[in-house]
């Protein structure tokens, strides 16, 4: 059973990468190592089997296995939110039921995609999953899977177990409006790493994103700076985050992050095809370019840069 109340699920929450071995099987020891590394760094929760976790590249059973490994390794140290999104409601319910049985604290899902699902389809999808377990449901607004209209967000919020939204967008005035209209108890998570400070300034309760696997300390500094109204520090830290992200997304950045975590002694494994994995020559190039960024902008306090 879950151990954390949904209102405790705030702060910096990495969208956890799934650690694969070179043969693309799940690397359990690497998975445990990454979980332990992030929790020891002070993150406020973990978001499993989403896009960053390559959830759509895994079978149902593999996704369940990852949930079981992470919940066991986390051992109630931080809240666990499980992404259960699939195109079909039936499979999403099965994943939600499994997450509940294994002790997750919340579930989340992208809207159903590929077919041109309308507002009613999306509403029923979330309603059916939310009613399948007692766990709080965090809906997900992301352009890749399908942007949920603002009025639809308000309708979804009326479903009893829908307790918040992961809002991945590069405009954030809607976050302030959601908090105004739906109240402080309706949680909003900013999902664009390069816009973390903006999301927080507009009222987001927490941050869920990919690069928190690699440099959680930077985003924890941003979170603290915004909460302390230290706008100068938040701006400088966010600018450094953007510089690193802008360089990284030229490549298969999940694979780049895996290499960079290795510089910290963390086994983050491999990505699944069709994502690329990079060899020693490319890794040396990454190190050189990150060192240039660090020196040019005098970036301090980011562990993976300091490890180069």
Contact 277, 251 (CB under 8 A): no
pLDDT of residue 274 exceeding 60, the answer is: yes
Percent of the chain with pLDDT over 90: 88
Handedness of CA 62, 63, 64, 66 (dihedral sign): positive
| Known binding residues | 52, 208
Express each pLDDT in 153-204 by its tens digit. Answer: 889 999 999 999 998 877 788 899 999 999 999 999 999 999 999 999 999 9
What's the domain range around 202? 6-228
pLDDT of residue 32 exceeding 50, the answer is: yes
Beta pairing, strands 80-83 & 46-48: parallel
Q: Is residue 110 domain-resident?
A: yes
Q: Is residue 288 domain-resident?
A: no
For residue 48, the model assigns a pLDDT of 98
Mean pLDDT of 215-236: 97
Q: Is residue 48 domain-resident?
A: yes
Mean pLDDT of 33-55: 98
Q: Is residue 291 domain-resident?
A: no
Express each pLDDT in 47-78 by its tens digit. Answer: 999 999 999 999 999 999 999 999 999 999 99
* Active site (catalytic) residues: 140, 166
Domain containing residue 74: CATH number = 3.20.20.70
pTM here is 0.96
Q: What integer best gives the mean pLDDT of the chain?
A: 95
For residue 198, the model assigns a pLDDT of 95
For residue 119, the model assigns a pLDDT of 87
Q: Is residue 156 domain-resident?
A: yes
Q: Count Cβ atoms below 10 Å from residue 211 Cβ, excluding itself.
A: 23
| Known binding residues for pyruvate | 52, 208
SS3 173: helix
Number of H helices, E strands in the chain: 12, 8
- At residue 224 the predicted structure's pLDDT band, cuts being 50, 70 and 90, is very high
Total domain count, the chain: 1
For residue 145, the model assigns a pLDDT of 43
Name beta bridge partners: 26.
20
- 28, 12, 24, 148: which is closest to 85 by C-alpha? 148
Q: Is residue 265 domain-resident?
A: no
- 215, 116, 212, 111: which is closest to 166 by C-alpha? 111
- 222, 297, 234, 289: which is closest to 260 by C-alpha? 289
Q: Where are the beta strands (DSSP E) in the chain?
A: 11-14, 46-48, 80-83, 106-109, 137-142, 162-168, 187-190, 206-209
Mean pLDDT of 209-231: 98
Q: Is residue 113 domain-resident?
A: yes
Q: Is residue 133 domain-resident?
A: yes
pLDDT of residue 92 exceeding 50, the answer is: yes
Task: Please give the Cα distance from 293 to 164 (Å, whole number).
Answer: 36
């Amino acid at each position: 059973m879950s151990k954390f109340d949904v209102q405790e699920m705030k702060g910096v929450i990495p969208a956890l990468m799934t650690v694969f071995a070179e043969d693309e099987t799940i690397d359990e020891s690497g998975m445990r190592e990454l979980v332990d590394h992030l929790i020891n760094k002070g993150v406020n929760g973990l978001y499993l089997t989403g896009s960053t976790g390559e959830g759509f590249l895994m079978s149902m059973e593999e996704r369940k296995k990852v949930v079981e490994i992470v919940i066991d390794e986390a051992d109630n140290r931080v809240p666990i939110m499980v992404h259960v999104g699939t195109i079909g409601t039936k499979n999403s319910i099965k994943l939600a039921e499994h997450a509940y049985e294994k002790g997750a604290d919340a579930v989340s899902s992208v809207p159903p995609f590929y077919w041109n699902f309308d507002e009613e389809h999306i509403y029923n999808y979330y309603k059916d999953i939310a009613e399948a377990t007692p766990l709080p449901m965090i809906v997900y607004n992301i352009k890749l899977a399908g942007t949920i209209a603002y009025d639809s967000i308000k309708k979804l919020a009326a479903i009893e177990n829908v307790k918040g939204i992961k809002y991945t967008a590069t405009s954030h005035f809607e976050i302030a409006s959601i908090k105004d209209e739906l109240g402080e108890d309706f949680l909003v998570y900013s999902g664009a790493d390069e816009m973390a400070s903006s999301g927080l300034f507009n009222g987001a309760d927490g941050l869920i994103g990919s690069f928190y696997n690699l440099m959680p300390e930077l985003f924890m500094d941003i979170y603290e700076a915004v909460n302390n109204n230290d706008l100068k520090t938040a701006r400088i830290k966010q600018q450094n985050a953007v510089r690193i992200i802008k360089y990284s997304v030229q490549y298969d950045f999940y694979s780049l992050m895996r290499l960079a975590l290795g510089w910290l002694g963390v086994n983050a494994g491999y990505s699944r095809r069709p994502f690329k994995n990079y060899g020693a020559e490319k890794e040396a190039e990454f190190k050189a370019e990150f060192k240039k960024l660090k020196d040019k902008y005098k970036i301090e306090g980011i562990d993976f840069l300091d490890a180069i």
